[in-house]
Structure 1
Amino acid sequence: MSGITTWLTGLPSSGKSTIAAAVAAELGRTHPVEILDGDVLRREFFPELGFSRADREENVRRTGRLALTLASHGVHVLVPVIAPYRDSRDWVRALHADQGVRFAEVHVDAPLAVCQHRDVKGLYAKASRGELTGLTGVDDPYEAPPTPELRLRTNELSLPACVSAVLELVLGTPVGVHPVGAH
């Protein structure tokens, strides 16, 4: 059984974790699945890492190695992590390619204004009050992937449409819903 790492990247509050959880619920019925959520990894496994560029890159490298290990053992790994820098994500892709393990990048694409409105964790509000600096997309860059395997415009697509598109990508077969604008 071969696994795959599906890396969901996007701005804070774009929908990465929500999509990953819904995909895991469906995929987990027939395949071993693991979610490597960025918030959980930082809190439980990499608490010494801050939010400097070097620490963010190291976070992505560590997460990528962990995902590779799981995927190489047949697990379908979902990684909802901001991973703001293109070169870090490309490094993880190359790591997987070197080991012959499938890797797919999904850009969970929502406009900054939509993410600010959602503000699931209150980060944008803290940044606007000056209580938080270095927020990706506000005062730290987010380098959107130019050619992801899948781009999900979560301000235009329903959650079921996003889930169907990711499942189709991961499984390589149609799963029923073909959302307009998902690719």
Structure 2
Amino acid sequence: MATNITWHGNITHEERKVLAKQSGLTIWLTGLSGSGKSSIACLLEEHLLKRGYNSYRLDGDNIRFGLNSDLGFSDDDRNENIRRISYVSKLFNDSCTFIIVSFISPFKKERENARKIHEADNLPFIEAYVDAPLEVVEARDPKGLYKKARQGIIKEFTGISSPYEAPEDPEIHLKNYDSPIEKSVEQIVKYLEENNYIK
């Protein structure tokens, strides 16, 4: 880490909340490829914006077109991918934006680190597990990735040749395999309302 750097502060986070008229929040959606994370994130972002909450979505695929275009899918690169996004989402959160993170984020340790990065600055972090069994997402296979992974064309593919460590105690557990995505969004919104993040 560079030593010749200084953090330049301005207004406090509390002052920013008053000026922005809302608090920040990170909603971290994790689950296997094809579990519905991106679809849920898109619908949730739209719902929150329509209710007047400044919201933004960070999608695992989208980020790899720019910020993380230099990363592959080895364990080290996956860890670096999540480390970067953890800090980006923290910055959005600190700016009083509702940030919706939609990443496979397969490793428990990296998700725990993401939480710690937020909690170090008293910023709320909500883990939402988009739970769809391997047999379900493999049958969906919207991008044809599971088929390629089974054929050995794609190496280090989560759920096939690389592990997915499911959350043990997420704030929100979405069983997204026997109900429409609207139900998952309703479940998240209900949690936010009950915990006074939104009114």
1:122 aligns with 2:144: yes
The Cα offsets for residues 88-125 of structure 1, whole Å up to 9 and x where unpaired, read as: 00000011001111100000000001100111211101
Counterpart of 1:102 in structure 2 is 124
Which ranges of structure 1 fall in alignment gaps of 5 or more residues?
175-183
Report if the CA contact (8 A) 1:4-1:170 is conserved: no
Larger Rg: 2
Counterpart of 1:23 in structure 2 is 44
1:88 aligns with 2:110: yes
SS in structure 2 of the partner of residue 148 of structure 1: coil
1:133 aligns with 2:133: no
Which ranges of structure 2 fall in alignment gaps of 5 or more residues?
1-21
Separation in structure 1 between the aligned mates of residue 185 and residue 176 of structure 2, nearest angstrom: 11
Separation in structure 2 between the aligned mates of residue 121 and residue 7 of structure 1, nearest angstrom: 22
Counterpart of 2:5 in structure 1 is none
Name the TM-score, length of structure 1 as normaliser.
0.92
1:53 aligns with 2:47: no
Separation in structure 1 between the aligned mates of residue 118 and residue 143 of structure 2, nearest angstrom: 31
Name the TM-score, length of structure 2 as normaliser.
0.84
1:151 aligns with 2:183: no
Separation in structure 1 between the aligned mates of residue 40 and residue 184 of structure 2, nearest angstrom: 7
SS in structure 2 of the partner of residue 36 of structure 1: strand
